[in-house]
Chain A
């Protein structure tokens, strides 16, 4: 006889039956092996409760077996292996063992001489709750109702991809349907509660929960382990300093660029090497895309709406890469920005596309620095200064030139700053026959191309190619956007 199934309200982990709780299934050989042990415990006055996953008539000779063929008890208890033996005091779990281990079971139950004649140890089997397909179904059944997002029922005859295009949820490329099961799997990537507010997303200033980020991460094609990176990127983008609102609204080319540092980059399989700024790596592609989809869908920021870009740039689909720290002669960007070595971070930069720099002939750091400075001067316009930050992505072959000469990053930056301090008379409006330029009042001074801290240097790229990349910025500083770094949580 199986006992009536307790109501769900009684299933919270702090309302368990006191004594000893065993979770078993008949189809598990170890559970069958220990059936006599359970009968022994039933007669020992330890307050035995047995939850059985497949056959309520199992184990024979034990009263008070609870039918858990619906698996909700096992699921809520987080059982992954059977048999699982739990000691409960005051309604709460105090100890748990998995599989059969005579010594352990005797200690947990306080009953001696258990299972005479059995071997002393037998590993358990997988709980039915973790079987493929079942785990998703249980998550939807028991955790799905906690998700707050509106359910949208796509018609049976609607093409799924077309339906999501039609609802305006995409950036122009197909998206992955955010089913409850997929969103729940995505949420497994973080310990943060689904209803925690991550940021207030512009332009509509909408409080955005972990759940909404997860929904958009599914759309973007992320794996669950990317979610903490996406969350950190959303947090960083939605700060007042980064100014996502203005970055979205501008007529300029720019959009958020996500630079990832630390062990998380390797852990989730990001690309910092060959083609680091290009296509083909799922983590790079989908983390940057997820951020953009959050801005689009949650914040309501869309091209032609608040996004007024004259031309935009392809990086507004996604622009995310990792710094190659292992191959770098320099400290990582995250360390420069005040985080400890080994910290995982995202740095958000308001960037406007990639401009390549070729220098295949410089073999001295002085020559290469001059080369880079010439190219850096063109950011936004060679006759404009101080208004735009820049990220200089130095590739391994260029970095080697500096490394062999003993130039650290500070030295390179100092040299570039010197080379990029330009006489105002070359920069003023009308100079060189070009109307664009800085106001005439600067004619008698020299102007630094970049503000202090406005030249960011990172190391990435493949090992062949004497090229580096310039990612020009947008309006810099308190007037526009400050680069923002956030630690990636769990």
Chain B
């Protein structure tokens, strides 16, 4: 097809979002939970609360400060405000993913 050939081949248009991902370093994993603020995030999947309730029992018994959070629905990403709140109030977060 005329007008679409480069010198060495055919020129096509990139169908992708053309994102250039930026990698950011993760926060270092803590050696111990002692003295840390622990968030427990329920994504609203059935029975996620069962898992988190048990974790809360165990972690409370160790004297840790816990904060409970819940996504409005498991089918959508956590709202920005919720993510911000967790990041502000917690040092680590445990998320219950599955049924």
Q: Which residues of A contact B (CB under 8 A)?
A: 133, 136-137, 139-141, 144, 147, 149-158, 160, 164, 169, 177-183, 201, 204, 206, 208, 212, 215-216, 219, 240, 243, 245-247, 249-250, 293, 297-300, 475, 478-481
| Interface bits B2-19 vs A (CB < 8 Å: 1, else 0) | 111010111111111111
Residues of A within 8 A of B44 (CB): 479
Chain A CB within 8 A of B60 CB:
no
Residue of A nearest to B73 (CB): A479
Residues of A within 8 A of B75 (CB): 243, 245-247, 249-250, 475, 479-481
6 contacts between A and B (CB under 8 A): A137-B3, A158-B9, A240-B76, A246-B76, A298-B15, A475-B75
Question: Closest approach, in angstroms, between the C-beta of B98 and any C-beta of chain A?
Answer: 9
| Interface bits B47-85 vs A (CB < 8 Å: 1, else 0) | 000000000000000000000000001111100000000
Q: Which among B4, B9, B13, B75 has the highest number of chain A CB atoms within 10 Å?
A: B13
Per DSSP, chain B at the interface is loop
In the complex, the answer to whether B17 meets A177 with C-beta atoms within 8 Å is no
In the complex, the answer to whether A149 meets B1 with C-beta atoms within 8 Å is no
In the complex, the answer to whether A169 meets B15 with C-beta atoms within 8 Å is yes
Question: Closest approach, in angstroms, between the C-beta of A280 and any C-beta of chain B?
Answer: 25
Question: Closest approach, in angstroms, between the C-beta of A137 and any C-beta of chain B?
Answer: 4
Task: Return the contact of A219 from the options B15, B18, B19, B73 (Cβ within 8 A).
Answer: B15
Residues of B within 8 A of A300 (CB): 16-17, 19
Q: A479-B73, A480-B73 are in contact. Are A141 and B10 (CB under 8 A)?
A: no
Residues of B within 8 A of A169 (CB): 15-16
Task: Return the contact of A181 from the options B4, B8, B9, B15 (Cβ within 8 A).
Answer: B4
Q: A150-B13, A150-B18, A298-B16 are in contact. Are A155 and B8 (CB under 8 A)?
A: yes
Question: Closest approach, in angstroms, between the C-beta of B12 and any C-beta of chain A?
Answer: 5
Q: Complex formed: what's the CA distance from A177 to B75 in Å? A: 35
Q: Complex formed: what's the CA distance from A208 to B18 in Å? A: 11
In the complex, the answer to whether A153 meets B8 with C-beta atoms within 8 Å is yes
Residues of A within 8 A of B2 (CB): 133, 136-137, 140, 181
Query: Ordered nearest first, which 9 A-B pairs have the shortest CB separation?
Result: A246-B75, A140-B3, A206-B17, A179-B4, A149-B13, A150-B14, A156-B9, A297-B15, A137-B3
In the complex, the answer to whether B3 meets A155 with C-beta atoms within 8 Å is no
In the complex, the answer to whether A177 meets B10 with C-beta atoms within 8 Å is yes
Q: Complex formed: what's the CA distance from A164 to B44 in Å? A: 40
Residues of B within 8 A of A297 (CB): 15-17
Question: Closest approach, in angstroms, between the C-beta of B8 and any C-beta of chain A?
Answer: 5
In the complex, the answer to whether B13 meets A152 with C-beta atoms within 8 Å is yes
Residue of B nearest to A180 (CB): B4
Q: Complex formed: what's the CA distance from A89 to B80 in Å? A: 55
Q: A180-B4, A243-B75 are in contact. Are A154 and B13 (CB under 8 A)?
A: no
Question: Closest approach, in angstroms, between the C-beta of A349 and any C-beta of chain B?
Answer: 15
Q: A243-B75, A478-B73, A479-B75 are in contact. Are A151 and B11 (CB under 8 A)?
A: yes
Residue of A nearest to B3 (CB): A140
In the complex, the answer to whether B19 meets A136 with C-beta atoms within 8 Å is no
Residues of A within 8 A of B4 (CB): 140, 179-182
Q: Complex formed: what's the CA distance from A425 to B2 in Å? A: 70
Residues of A within 8 A of B3 (CB): 136-137, 139-141, 144, 180-181
Residues of B within 8 A of A181 (CB): 1-4
Residues of B within 8 A of A247 (CB): 75
Q: Complex formed: what's the CA distance from A93 to B8 in Å? A: 42
Q: B37-53: which residues lie under 8 A (CB-CB) from chain A?
A: 44
In the complex, the answer to whether B18 meets A149 with C-beta atoms within 8 Å is yes
